[in-house]
A = this chain, B = another copy of it.
């Protein structure tokens, strides 16, 4: 089939993101996490007592959409909240949360490594800087 789309970097960007995203989502589902769950756990792990709003801003997840996400993690016993002041709550990993994060980190790291190796060597080191120029 004649395809005028694949010549566009933006189109290929979407297809590549969708393909790799689906693959990672499958692997994370095996340990009971969504990609957004794993991202949040990683970020809380690196920033104990961060607030929901701050995490959302950093991950480009809206405040309103953080609510059900954090509720699931809390119900699963992976995170807990501690009041900072009257309106803010600091988030932290429980012990179970730290264990799950360790699993997630290993899943993500091996996935990312495989992904990286799929790229021809001469292009590898260019991908991250090119992508960062697009979104950061």
Please report whether the interface of chain A is mostly helix, strand, loop or mixed according to DSSP: helix
On whether the beta carbons of B130 and A43 are closer than 8 Å, the reply is: no
B10-A132 in contact (CB<8A):
no
Indicate if the CB atoms of A10 and B115 lie closer than 8 Å.
Answer: yes
In the complex, which range does the number of interface residues on chain A fall in?
35 or more
| Segment among A14-22, A64-72, A74-82, A84-92 that sits at the interface with chain B | A14-22
> Which residues of B sit under 8 angstroms from A116, Cβ to Cβ?
9
Q: A120-B133, A126-B126 are in contact. List 13 more A-B contacts (CB 8 A).
A: A1-B43, A2-B47, A4-B43, A9-B128, A10-B21, A10-B108, A13-B17, A13-B20, A14-B20, A19-B134, A115-B134, A126-B130, A130-B130
